[in-house]
Chain A
Amino acid sequence: GIQVEQSPPDLILQEGANSTLRCNFSDSVNNLQWFHQNPWGQLINLFYIPSGTKQNGRLSATTVATERYSLLYISSSQTTDSGVYFCAPGGGADGLTFGKGTHLIIQP
């Protein structure tokens, strides 16, 4: 199955800082999604991004499928951005494959 590696595993930033989260995956994929999991366990879909670049407010994501990586950019961080960020390629009959996530803490 697909192997997913996310980096960094942990990240502590001050409010207002920018960050880049990386996701490497072992095989070519047709689908990739980014999620934010809040402290209560809710997984929120941030992007469906099999390739190219998308932006949504302070967040943007880029997937380079041919090089098997995706990046999530967070600008002007807010404390509500804290949580765990997962990338998850797949989503067909084999389901999504999740990495271990990046645990982000934004300090006021």
Chain B
Amino acid sequence: ETGVTQSPTHLIKTRGQQVTLRCSSQSGHNTVSWYQQALGQGPQFIFQYYREEENGRGNFPPRFSGLQFPNYSSELNVNALELDDSALYLCASRGQGNTIYFGEGSWLTVV
């Protein structure tokens, strides 16, 4: 158990729609980050939040946005979905000693 839970597990959206993915991490894990993993590739860093403020961002357009809440939950929002957004989306939180724990991911299919 990593202590990081994500929802939903699987979802299908239509091109142009918007999607919200959710993550809940352990109490005290103030840093949460999101990653996109396309089939056959390693995860790619989307952005990171620390105490509800975005403090790092990868090479993703502004239609990828996020929120972190005081209760250690967070969201990833993607607007104007494109077919290439189909991927596994992973949430990660930083625990003690800089160890990073991942949730089980949300599989997004855009049709």
Measured between beta carbons, the chain A residues less than 8 angstroms from B99 are: 33, 45, 48
Number of interface residues of B (CB under 8 A): 28
- Which label, helix, strand, loop or mixed, suits the secondary structure of the A interface? strand
In the assembly, what is the distance between CA of A42 and CA of B107, in Å? 11
A46 CB to nearest chain B CB (Å): 10
Q: What interface size band does chain A fall in?
A: 20 to 34
A40 CB to nearest chain B CB (Å): 7
Measured between beta carbons, the chain A residues less than 8 angstroms from B35 are: 95-96
Say if the beta carbon of B102 comes within 8 Å of chain A: yes
A-B pairs under 8 A by CB, number: 67
In the assembly, what is the distance between CA of A96 and CA of B92, in Å? 10
In the assembly, what is the distance between CA of A99 and CA of B90, in Å? 16
**0 or 1 for each of B51-83: is its CB under 8 Å from A? (1 = yes):** 000011010000000000000000000000000
- Which of A41, A44, A48 is close to B98, meaning CB atoms less than 8 Å apart? A48
**27 pairs, CB–CB < 8 Å, chain A vs chain B:** A4-B42, A31-B98, A33-B99, A35-B102, A41-B90, A41-B105, A41-B107, A43-B102, A43-B105, A44-B2, A44-B102, A45-B99, A45-B100, A48-B97, A93-B55, A93-B56, A94-B56, A95-B35, A95-B45, A96-B35, A96-B43, A96-B92, A98-B42, A98-B43, A99-B42, A100-B41, A100-B42
